Structure 1
Amino acid sequence: MNRKYFISSLATATAALSTFDTWAAPAEKENFSNRKHKVPPYLIPGDTIGITSPASYISLAEIQPAVQLMESWGFKVEVGTTVGKKDFTYGGTDDERAAELQTMLDDPNIKAIMCARGGYGAVRIIDRLNFRAFKSRPKWVIGFSDITVLHCHINQNFGIATLHSKMCNSFPDDWAKAEPVQVSTILSIKQALTGESLTYATPACSYNRNGNAKGKLIGGNLSIIANLAATKSDIETRNKILFLEDTDEYLYNIDRMFWNLKRSGKLSNLAGLVIGGFKTKPDTTGDEFGKTIYQIVTEKVKEYNYPVCFDFPVGHQRNNFALKCGVEHVLNVDGTGTMLKAF
């Protein structure tokens, strides 16, 4: 296996960190809501994918299946030094994680950045990053869960498409023994990165609301999106197709976060709503919440007229397919099921 390890020099890291103190975001965000997003160049064999850990810790051994498979696709892989580095729960200190992500954003030889895993930590470094070089030379930023911070910030502030998908910690240890759904979801990453057409179809759900929609697809983890409210990473949802997923939350807290979206206007002018996987914590016996995820969402959107679908294959689950954030999609929901297609 020909693998190049990505090692940032102290001088590079210091230079990158020095920009954090001098660079500040514009006072007002540029509004990309009604503009066409810039789509980073699609990858071709020989292009390089960088792997970094902007959030939680992951070992070098855990990413090997992902490295080997992406190399088999014809890509070169550069592994950052934050992989295998540990600072309590994080993949290195805030300074180390920020400096490495900055270097990968700036490096013209890296055509895509795959986050090794989620967890927690991206919000701690997002305001340290300088996106000037990234804006002039866009590249795919890949991940989900905590990486929703990057998706929202990049799409809202710079109008550049990103890829919501599984990360290194979700690649099967043995590709030959992987379940079909694992194979399909991992291959969807390759298809997205190389510009293949992405169309997903799901069965009908009795809670679905039929209709057709067209708009930019945005979204990700509900907890992250709710916590980005009123920050410069907050998303504008008007005329968008919003997708949401979450895990390890109590139903009452999911209800609270959907009230946040409703009260802040994020649900009122959507083109469409896609609800992915929601893994919930069990209610305390005798203190049950009394509503399902289907009922929680239906209650919040009952006064609106856009299509809504449930059980879409995205989230903290094996059927977590790649979705291009910021790219125009069509959404069709009817009695036969749901179809979501990227332009």
Structure 2
Amino acid sequence: MHRKHFLSSLLPAAFALSSAKAIGNTVIFEGSRSSKIPPYLRQGDTIGITCPAGYITLEDIQPAVQLMQGWGFVVEVGKTVGKRSFTLGGTDEERAADLQYMLDNPNIKAIMCARGGYGAVRIIDQLNFHQFKTYPKWIIGFSDITVLHSHINRNYHIATLHSKMCNSFPADWNLAEPIQVETILSIKQALTGEKLSYTSPASEFNRLGKATGGLVGGNLSLLTSLSGSKSDINTKHKILFLEDTGEYLYNIDRMFYNLKRSGKLEHLHGLIIGGFKLKPDEPDEVFGKTVAEIVLEKVKEYDYPVCFDFPVGHQKNNFALKCGVEHLLEVYEIGGRLYES
């Protein structure tokens, strides 16, 4: 996959949406429900670190702790960091209690999930979001944390941050690759209120066009596993981004059929395809289609733009994206661009 470049330019005035108006931190668009944006962070604010999914050691989160402290934030390490119940970061009860404490604590302004793995779906129905609805804060993470992004967007219409987590911070910042530096810095930029813009390279599979809508999405496997539940993603009039890892092509095909048959591809305004790390087909069970061919087959009857090779997913070029926030997607012959409105 080609390396993508992070852009800091803001959305040009020429593309401003005349139908949008802002009231405080809430952006309202005609014909769509408002999306509440949590307060952006200032120096001295506290970021909590918790493990709603897989386990991680206290030692392994130190690079993230030290860097976020260097950004001027206070870091509160949750009780689940360093705990382990087999593959999980503590028992279901421990993980739910730790996340609940951080959701309810008014001094914690953002919650960084330490890593993905598996486990968020086991506790989602135990969580009480009453305090969070009244005093929202940024929930940060990706992969298994897609459960939280989808649940919060569907039920509470509050923006969240899809981004790398503690286990992706480089141990030695001075030795980190430029793309690692850019992606980690995009977390700070998002949390402090910068309007971000990204570009992806040209692809022969891109479908050209422009689209506006709230940005939703995440891990394809997680989103299809939530189908039919009260955490099920709402894609109507949205820009959907998808990524995945460790799946066979036939399973990617099956999951895209799930999206299609459940109506999630029908009323999109735009589709973004990020990184897909695949398991190689067995020699006697070759599927015969690429990811791009699978996607285009499922959306051939629709006319919205489709952007491939976007810098999001289980890869080094995994930039921070504000889920639930309105964006503009442009797909040209020279590549794709995504602007936060």
**TM-score (norm: length of structure 2):** 0.91
Q: How does 1:38-49 map to 2 (within 5 A)?
A: 38-49=36-47
Deviation at 1:245, TM superposition (A): 0.2
Question: Aligned residue for 2:263?
Answer: 265
* Unpaired segments ≥5 residues, structure 1: 1-31
Question: Following superposition of structure 1 onto structure 2, how do residues 1-343 of structure 1 map, counting pairs within 5 Å?
Answer: 34-343=32-341
The one-letter code matched in structure 1 to 2:245 is: T
Q: How many residue pairs are counted as aligned between the two chains?
A: 312
Following the alignment from structure 1 to structure 2, what is the Cα–Cα distance between the partners of residues 107 and 286?
54
SS at match of 2:198: strand
After superposition, give the CA deviation of every residue in 1:283-336 in whole Å (9 maximum; x if it has no partner): 001210100101000100011000001000000000000000000000000111
Tell me the distance in 1 between the aligned counterparts of 2:279 and 2:95: 31
The whole-number CA distance in structure 1 between the counterparts of 2:229 and 2:201 is: 36
Per the TM alignment, residue 34 of structure 1 is displaced from its structure 2 partner at its CA by: 2.0
- Distance (Å, rounded) in 1 between the aligned partners of 2:157 and 2:301: 30
In 2, the alpha carbon distance for the partners of 1:73 and 1:287 equals 50
Rounded to whole Å, the distance in 2 between the matches of 1:79 and 1:302 is 47
Query: Take 2:338 and 2:244, find their aligned partners in 1: how far apart are those partners?
Result: 20
Matching residue's letter, 1:307 = P
For residue 188 of structure 1, what is the amino acid of its counterpart? S
Counterparts of 1:100 and 1:53, CA distance in 2: 8
- In the TM superposition, what is the alpha-carbon distance from 1:166 to its structure 2 partner? 0.1
Q: Could you say what secondary structure the match of 1:123 adopts?
A: helix
Say which SS state the counterpart of residue 125 (structure 1) adopts: helix
Between the aligned partners of 1:113 and 1:265, the Cα distance in structure 2 is 32
| Counterpart residue type for residue 229 of structure 1 | S
For residue 235 of structure 1, report the CA deviation from its aligned partner. 1.3
Write the distance in 2 (CA, Å) between the matches of 1:286 and 1:141.
43
CA distance in structure 1 between the aligned counterparts of 2:275 and 2:282, rounded to whole angstroms: 22
Query: What fraction of aligned residue pairs are identical, expressed as a percent?
Result: 72
Report the Cα offset of residue 197 of structure 1: 1.6
Corresponding letter in the other structure for 2:120: A
Take 1:41 and 1:188, find their aligned partners in 2: how far apart are those partners? 17
**Letter in structure 1 aligned against 2:167:** N
SS at match of 2:53: coil
SS of residue in 2 equivalent to 1:83? coil
Partner AA of 1:94 in structure 2? D
Q: CA–CA distance in 2 between the matches of 1:153 and 1:104?
A: 17
Amino acid in structure 2 at the alignment position of 1:66: A
TM-superposed CA distance for 1:36, in Å, is 1.6
Backbone CA RMSD of aligned residues: 0.9
How far residue 77 of structure 1 moved from its aligned partner, in angstroms, is 0.1
Name the amino acid aligned to 2:202: A
In the TM superposition, residue 236 of structure 1 has moved relative to its aligned partner by 1.3
Q: How far has the Cα of 1:267 moved from its partner?
A: 0.3
Q: In 2, Cα distance between the equivalents of 1:118 and 1:267?
A: 26
Give the whole-Å Cα distance in 2 for the aligned partners of 1:277 and 1:299: 18
